[in-house]
Chains A and B, each alone.
Chain A
Amino acid sequence: MGAGHAHKLYRHGHSPVHALPAHCKIAAVFCFVLVVVSTPREAVWAFGLYALLIAAAAAAARIPAGFLLKRLLIEVPFVAFALLMPFVAEGPRTEVLGMSLSASGLWGAWNILAKGTLGVAASVLLAATTELRELLLGLQRLRMPPLLVQIASFMIRYGDVITDEMRRMRIARLSRGFEARGIRHWGVLAKSAGALFIRSYERGERVHLAMVSRGYTGTMPRLAETTATRTQWTRAAALPLAALAVCLLGWTL
């Protein structure tokens, strides 16, 4: 079952970044990403400055660089597509290391790579400094539809329960001498997945019953109301504002 007492993405700490209310941080990251995305791709130096801004934020949050870089690996499968672009895109071609590559493809790949990496880095930083629970409350505070917040919070709550059920089913299969070796065994795996789906569905019904029994009428009661002070908003805004300045420079220069 669960390994620690917090989610793996979260890194416990008491830095000024940790202390900011979740909704400020979410808004800040969102604006930062918007600014990064709207920067012209030719302004290469601007992306370097963005990376520095992220590094500064990470330093303020006392998140070691290694931690951040390791988490960034999640991006790799998405980047694979970007790497293909110089080979398949149309247009004038240039020579790089003896290979003929499309110039617009190179720019496109750079665009995806740089903007994607910065976006992921900002999100990783957010996840490392904000507990999942806080993130959900933050989203609620930012007026995300309550139904979506409820769905997300149930996913967090029951993710472990369902993984555990899946693990038990796998052990039961192994104990009876089954090991998925090839395409012939996919049928069994598909049936297990179906059984898991039905079990989860039935659990859903039982959970709903338990909720109704305790007075659930369709909306979650709001418990803690965290409000952010002006200073906290200002601090959180430092990152996107600095990025905005860089972005404007990128457009004018």
Chain B
Amino acid sequence: MDPLSTTAPAPSLAVSRLAYAYPDGHQALFGVDLTVGRGERVALLGPNGAGKTTLVLHLNGILEAGAGTVEIAGLPVGKEHLAEIRRRVGIVFQDPDDQLFMPTVREDVAFGPASAGLRGDALDERVTEALTRVGMADFADRPPHHLSFGQRRRVAVATVLAMRPEILVLDEPSSNLDPASRRELADILRSLDVTVLMVTHDLPYALELCPRSVVLSGGVIVADGTTQQLLCDEELMRTHRLELPFGFDPRSVDVPL
């Protein structure tokens, strides 16, 4: 594979000193450093306007870094190998109606691999495999807008799983889900053996799924540690407008390892 893999495997994601200003002059990122090892599940926390979405859009080269670098499994994000980068980074957007744009679930899941040139039986196999992993194989021929919200979110996960990504990036995966769909999605995410970076405001969900969390605030990473540690740090939480739901005490939870 890549030359770096001869020693230790390169981390799934390596962001170093990443800075970015929007064309209108508003600077969103001021030197972000973040490394996510292979197979890790990391929550990216932070208040609104902290630059979380901006950071996510750098991971697959939609936005181009003003300064600093982003590497996906050793491959630097840049114009030369954008197609490969976009295969390696699977972004699940917040609104599944934005993500599912094809007339049927099957075609939607096939879109990514087919864009990469996969055809015929190999493509069918890939689609079935991805849909099975999220428990939606029976819905392959349905139009996405006839599914429930939770089902659409799961199909959205399948659409990126079908590309066999190195890292799965989820934007607010638990938003708008009822408790049962929330739990089903959590079970699915836990069963996957891919690296996960999860952008969320849902702190209990982060605690449930991600052993490690990072806090992005004001365009820099201000904290990086185990999720339980961070959530118990009242000072840190207050400074960065992070609040736990009423009655939720992160100390009282036995974190699954």
CB within 8 A of A157: which of B86, B101, B111, B123? B101
Task: Give Cα distance in the complex from A203 to B159, angstroms.
Answer: 19
**B183 at interface (Cβ–Cβ under 8 A)?**
no
CB-based contact A206/B115 at 8 Å: no
CB-based contact B93/A214 at 8 Å: no
CB within 8 A of A221: which of B98, B115, B143? B115
In chain A, positions 152-209 with a C-beta closer than 8 Å to chain B are 153-154, 156-158, 160-161, 203, 206-207, 209
In the complex, what's the smallest C-beta–C-beta distance from A226 to chain B, in angstroms? Answer: 14
In the complex, what's the smallest C-beta–C-beta distance from A136 to chain B, in angstroms? Answer: 8
CB within 8 A of B101: which of A133, A210, A217? A210
Chain B residue with Cβ nearest A153: B103
Q: Max chain A CB contacts within 10 Å: which of B89, B93, B97, B163?
A: B97
Chain B residue with Cβ nearest A222: B114
In chain B, positions 60-75 with a C-beta closer than 8 Å to chain A are 60, 62
Known contacts A1-B146, A212-B62, A216-B115: A206-B110 contact under CB 8 Å: no
B51 CB contacts on chain A under 8 angstroms: none
**B190 at interface (Cβ–Cβ under 8 A)?**
no
**A74 at interface (Cβ–Cβ under 8 A)?**
no
A221 CB contacts on chain B under 8 angstroms: 110-111, 114-115
Chain B residue with Cβ nearest A203: B98
Range for the number of chain B residues in contact with chain A: 20 to 34
In the complex, what's the smallest C-beta–C-beta distance from A196 to chain B, in angstroms? Answer: 15
In the complex, what's the smallest C-beta–C-beta distance from B58 to chain A, in angstroms? Answer: 12
CB within 8 A of A214: which of B86, B103, B143? B86
Contact with B along A214-225 (1 / 0, CB 8 A): 111100111100
A245 CB contacts on chain B under 8 angstroms: none
**A211 at interface (Cβ–Cβ under 8 A)?**
yes
CB within 8 A of B103: which of A157, A209, A216? A157
Known contacts A1-B145, A214-B159: A207-B116 contact under CB 8 Å: no
B93 CB contacts on chain A under 8 angstroms: 206, 209-210, 213
Chain B residue with Cβ nearest A154: B101
In the complex, what's the smallest C-beta–C-beta distance from A240 to chain B, in angstroms? Answer: 28
Known contacts A214-B159, A214-B160: A133-B115 contact under CB 8 Å: no
CB-based contact B98/A214 at 8 Å: no
CB within 8 A of A215: which of B86, B98, B102? B86
Q: Max chain B CB contacts within 10 Å: which of A5, A132, A214, A222?
A: A214
Chain A residue with Cβ nearest B144: A157
A214 CB contacts on chain B under 8 angstroms: 86, 111-112, 115, 159-160, 163
- Beyond A5-B143, A223-B114, list 10 extra A-B contacts (CB 8 Å): A132-B103, A158-B101, A203-B97, A210-B99, A210-B101, A211-B101, A213-B91, A214-B86, A215-B163, A222-B114
Q: Please name 30 pairs of A and B residues whose Cβ atoms are closer than 8 Å in the assembled complex, sorted by A.
A: A5-B143, A5-B146, A132-B103, A153-B102, A154-B101, A156-B103, A157-B101, A157-B102, A157-B143, A157-B145, A161-B145, A203-B98, A206-B93, A206-B98, A209-B57, A209-B62, A209-B93, A210-B91, A211-B101, A211-B111, A213-B89, A213-B93, A214-B159, A215-B87, A216-B115, A217-B115, A220-B111, A221-B114, A221-B115, A222-B114
Listed in ascending order, the chain A residues whose CB lies under 8 Å from chain B are: 1-2, 5, 132-133, 136, 153-154, 156-158, 160-161, 203, 206-207, 209-217, 220-223
